[in-house]
Chain A
């Protein structure tokens, strides 16, 4: 499973989105799709758990969690740094 698929799965469980994550493009605004800031914390924790990573403080911003692409690329960056 690619990072994008896993992120979509996490968003379905924790994102409180109005539509299934599969119906969103990678660049659609997740906040516009219904994700609250409270839900974004749960998404962050679930993504950390799924990839066994920890977001450093500088990545814990609204922009990191604004789209499927932004989350996936942050994850890939952290996985690369850890490799």
Chain B
């Protein structure tokens, strides 16, 4: 388990764009090594800490920078282009931060805790997936059990990204032993009040740096660490929309990197056959058109989410939920398609794990997008929604 954070937020006075570029440089430098060793991108996440990026999504009243969803998405894309795993860590972390900070429900102790994310640059992880339940995030079997003024929570979590590195883990569970599977709450667990017994490793096709190991999680936390608001509302108004927008942004960044590599490859081919247009150029036109559609999709849903963000009814409304579900499904398909097209353009140079035209690492990373909360599940949920949707 990670040692308690010692870095006290040294205020980095540089403009946001410079800080992000600095983190992206570091992420790019270690991306190959992180992937090869399937290890957490510690250098890049440390750089997020020292540049204050881990608290940036919090409102200024809580010590953050009050970044908009569009700003967070733009950062997620830049980091994702440099190192997919680093981008995903950033995206997952901030979806958890907002799930807490937007649902404090007047609790002073949760507000203090949220403030610490900025002042101590805490890293947040998520444990929604549960053994036996799989990716049905709106269903839990584990439950919150009262022990004096504390609550006990034991969860068999097959996948917690960077669980061993996190300072706080947000865990879904049934409200109590008698609650229905969908009557869930979200519990904020400090690393100090929690044991994570490893149950599975993370030797995967891609996104290897997310270090998404399996754990038996056992937490004993103060009762006020249970967010009072129902998880149903947190999920609909924050967790799901922010996850889908920021994940899609990371995948967009990965796609931009793939297109850039393809472009460089085609241009180098053109230099070798001056006077004729190399065959890859025609494919590159189609790829760029696909990237443009992807950009428009992400920009549109980010703006729509931003405009509805504080309107609880609209956020929970079926029309919006259908769109935000479709964003995840479509964006995950697009990044995989872009990866396939980039491989077709770069050929054996792209297929190689080494060399300047390799697209292999991002190609593998791109395959994870459809699986992290399986598209089949999301489509099944959306299908249920449209049955009750009116016009």
Check B37 for interface membership: any CB of A closer than 8 A.
Answer: no
A5 at the interface (CB under 8 A from B): no
Closest-by-CB residue of A relative to B273 is A45
In the assembled complex, how far is the CB of residue B276 from the closest CB belonging to chain A, in whole angstroms? 10
User: What CA separation (Å) do A45 and B270 show in the bound complex?
Assistant: 7
Chain B residue at smallest Cβ distance from A46: B274
- Flag whether A14 is at the interface (Cβ < 8 A): yes
- The residue in A45, A48, A49 that gathers the most chain B C-beta atoms within 10 A of its C-beta is A45
A54 touches B264 (CB 8 A): yes
Interface SS of chain B = helix
Q: In the assembly, what is the distance between CA of A3 and CA of B68, in Å?
A: 48
A42 touches B275 (CB 8 A): yes
Q: How far is the CB of A1 from chain B (nearest CB, A)?
A: 19
Q: How far is the CA of A49 from the CA of B114 in the complex (A)?
A: 54
A42 / chain B contacts, CB cutoff of 8 Å:
274-275
Which residues of A sit under 8 angstroms from B271, Cβ to Cβ? 45-46, 48-49
Query: Measured between C-beta atoms, what is the minimum distance from A51 to chain B in Å?
Result: 11
A11 to B4, CA, bound (A): 64
| Bound form: Cα–Cα A45–B267 in Å | 8
User: Beta-carbon contacts of A14-42 to B below 8 Å, as 1s and 0s?
Assistant: 10000000000000000000000000001
Tell me, rounded to whole Å, the shortest Cβ–Cβ distance linking B188 to chain A. Answer: 46
Q: Are B264 and A45 in contact (CB under 8 A)?
A: no
- Residues of A close to B275: CB separation below 8 A: 14, 42
Task: Name the interface size band of chain A.
Answer: under 10
* A49 contact set on B, CB distance < 8 A: 271-272, 274
Q: How many residues of B contact A (CB 8 A)?
A: 7
Q: What separation, in Å, do the CA atoms of A21 and B79 have in the docked complex?
A: 46
Interface string of A47-60 (1 = CB under 8 A from B): 01100001000000
Q: Give CA–CA (A21, B47) in the complex, Å.
A: 52
Which residues of chain A are within 8 angstroms of B264 by Cβ–Cβ distance?
54
The digit string for B243-272, where 1 denotes a CB below 8 A from any CB of A, is: 000000000000000000000100100111
Contacts of B272 in A (CB 8 A): 49
For B264, give the chain A residue with the smallest CB separation: A54
Assembly CA distance A46 to B275 (angstroms): 10
* Bound-state Cα–Cα, A14 to B270, Å: 13
Chain B: minimal CB distance from A78 (Å): 15
A54 to B270: give the CA distance in the assembly, Å. Answer: 12
Q: Cβ of A45: which chain B residues have Cβ within 8 Å of it?
A: 267, 270-271, 274
Residues of B within 8 A of A14 (CB): 274-275
Tell me the complex Cα distance, A42–B270, Å. 9
**Cα of A42 to Cα of B271 in the assembled complex, Å:** 8
Q: Which residues of B contact A54 (CB under 8 A)?
A: 264, 267
**Most chain A beta carbons < 10 A, residue from B267, B270, B271:** B271
Bound complex: CA A50 to CA B75 (Å): 37
Distance of A73 Cα from B311 Cα, bound (Å): 56
**Chain B, Cβ-Cβ closest to A13:** B274
Q: Mark B270-289, 1 if CB is under 8 A from A, else 0.
A: 11101100000000000000
Residues of chain A having any CB pair with chain B under 8 Å? 14, 42, 45-46, 48-49, 54
Given contacts A45-B267, A46-B271, A49-B271, 14 further A-B contacts (CB under 8 A): A14-B274, A14-B275, A42-B274, A42-B275, A45-B270, A45-B271, A45-B274, A46-B274, A48-B267, A48-B271, A49-B272, A49-B274, A54-B264, A54-B267
5 contacts between A and B (CB under 8 A): A14-B275, A42-B274, A45-B271, A46-B271, A48-B271
